[in-house]
Amino acid sequence: MAIIKMDGITKIYRTKDIETVALENVNLEVEKGEFISVMGPSGCGKSTMLNVMGLLDTPTEGQVLINNTLTSNMKDGEMAEFRNRTLGFIFQSFHLINSLSVLDNVELPLLYRKSSSSERTKRAKEVLEKVGLSHRMKHYPSQLSGGQCQRVAIARALIGNPQIILADEPTGNLDSKMGTEIIDLLFDLNKEGTTIVMVTHDEHIARTTERIIRFFDGRRIE
């Protein structure tokens, strides 16, 4: 069964007099449990595709179905709730909050849910354990290495126990050793059943995943 289905997705950005077609009639199905890579030159629409897939951005045309649920019919609050339960995001630049400790950064997504503070902390400790960072809970992002920051971001993505992880160049800011650690971690999560869609510029990393989707000028190419 396709866990994600993008059907005729077009995304056009309009600013004053410039119109950019970031995605043009993109069709894509991701099967439950798959680990796929998304590749293509800078500006070809990879991040746009991931943001539309992850319901962070709305398409100009077309439909996104997740678990056979048509997402365009959802109201804003409903969509935020659905996204929070189903999807986890990892970004190239980690997107951590520097004034919060590692533990607080990881707990953040649960603040929007009805869970008690002790439940949140318990769950945050579990996911930090999973990414091998229990011993850095009280640290702040500025006190961590790049690879450690990305592992905190992964723990934050995992705290809601998402079925799907969307990662936009998760190793883009890391040296190859740290990059390999992050990819290994993603493979472990995939083995446990998490569906993963990862944008990468690294052909070598992409080849280790099940399938590579390629884009050029907003279109999927073979």
Can you give the binding site for ligand ATP, defined by CB under 6 A?
13, 15, 20, 22, 40, 42-48
Task: Give CA–CA dist 155/130, Å, rounded.
Answer: 8
73 Cβ contact list (under 8 Å, min separation 6): none
220 membership: H or E segment, kind and range: strand 219-221
Structure tokens, 206: 């992409």
47 binds Mg ion (CB under 5 A): yes
Of 26-34, 47-55, 116-124, 131-139: span binding Mg ion (CB under 5 A): 47-55
Q: Which is nearer to ligand ATP, 23 or 103 (CB)?
A: 23
For the bound state, the minimum distance from the C-beta of residue 138 to ligand ATP, rounded and expressed in Å, comes to 34
Task: Give CA–CA dist 140/56, Å, rounded.
Answer: 27
For the bound state, the minimum distance from the C-beta of residue 215 to ligand ATP, rounded and expressed in Å, comes to 7
| 6-39 core/surface letters (b: 16 or more CB in 10 A; e: else) | bbebbbeeeeeeeeeebbbebebebeebbbbbbb
51 binds Mg ion (CB under 5 A): no
83 binds, among Mg ion, ligand ATP, none (CB under 5 to 8 A by kind): none
For the bound state, the minimum distance from the C-beta of residue 80 to ligand ATP, rounded and expressed in Å, comes to 20
Residues in the site for Mg ion, rule: CB under 5 A? 47
